[in-house]
Structure 1
Amino acid sequence: MVKANPYARSAAKSSGIHWRRLVLWVVGLSIVAFAATVWVFREPIAGYGSVASAYSARVGCSCRFVAGRSLQDCTKDKLAGMEAVTLVEDIETKSVTARFPLVAEATATYREGYGCVLETWEG
């Protein structure tokens, strides 16, 4: 009769623990690398976000309240690369707010005789 090796099972268990540690290290380093990249490029991201939201609010407001199109139809007028910007309309105040997630927000309001005007913002 062949005796089972008591160390064979612990070696297999040990290699599973090593894989878990390796996966945790890779995930941890990926999170740190992502955070460092966002930190390095924070100013360009903030600038792009504020300009993209202001542009989208102004174009969306003009499309909606000057041209009379639906807001859903107006989303087609955004430039390529602005897919992250969302538009929300307020019928009562005749305004459109554009949001670049977690970065910037801008609102444009329709004013008779002036068209759509951006609210004051820091760019």
Structure 2
Amino acid sequence: MARRTGYKRRIWPSVVLVLLVLGGVLAWIYREPIVGYTTVGTAYGARTACSCRYVAGRPLGDCKKDFEPGMEVVFLRDDEEAKSVTASVPLIASATARYRKGYGCVLDPWDK
């Protein structure tokens, strides 16, 4: 029995390494759709949360109720001084919407 336990201990690092490499390859293959969906998701999140916060006057924590299903990875940050909300998916995309009197919430231009 002791021999089998030692074998299991040696195989786990290899299994973890194979899974990490496989995950990296899949992320590389699907990078364009991932970046596209996160860019759209953060823009939608920033605009929706900004309107919720500065047009409707609701607290930022309440604004996630307005998000579509699947947007759990979008994080919000509020800047009360600038009257803006930034939505981001860490390490991939972010977007900022600012409240402008007479226009409502407007997205900042995207960098290309």
TM-score, normalised by the number of residues in structure 2: 0.91
Q: Tell me which residue corresponds to 1:21.
A: 10
The AA in structure 2 aligned to 1:78 is F
- 1:62-104 deviation per Cα after TM superposition (whole angstroms, max 9, x unaligned): 1110111111111110111001101111111100000112110
Aligned residues: 112
Larger radius of gyration: 1
Q: Tell me which residue corresponds to 1:4.
A: none
Q: Tell me which residue corresponds to 1:8.
A: none
2:6 & 2:61 partners in 1: Cα distance?
52
Return 5+ residue gaps in structure 1 as ranges. Answer: 1-11
Return 5+ residue gaps in structure 2 as ranges. Answer: none
Q: Does 1:32 align with 2:21?
A: yes
Q: Tell me which residue corresponds to 1:3.
A: none
Aligned with 2:73 (options 77, 84, 92): 84
What RMSD, in angstroms, separates the aligned Cα atoms of the two structures? Answer: 1.5
* Identity rate, percent: 51
Deviation at 1:21, TM superposition (A): 2.5
2:63 & 2:75 partners in 1: Cα distance?
11
- 1:33-64 deviation per Cα after TM superposition (whole angstroms, max 9, x unaligned): 11111111111111111110000000000111
The AA in structure 2 aligned to 1:22 is I
Deviation at 1:122, TM superposition (A): 4.0
2:95 & 2:72 partners in 1: Cα distance?
16
TM-score, normalised by the number of residues in structure 1: 0.84
Secondary structure at 1:84 match in 2? coil
1:87 & 1:51 partners in 2: Cα distance?
15
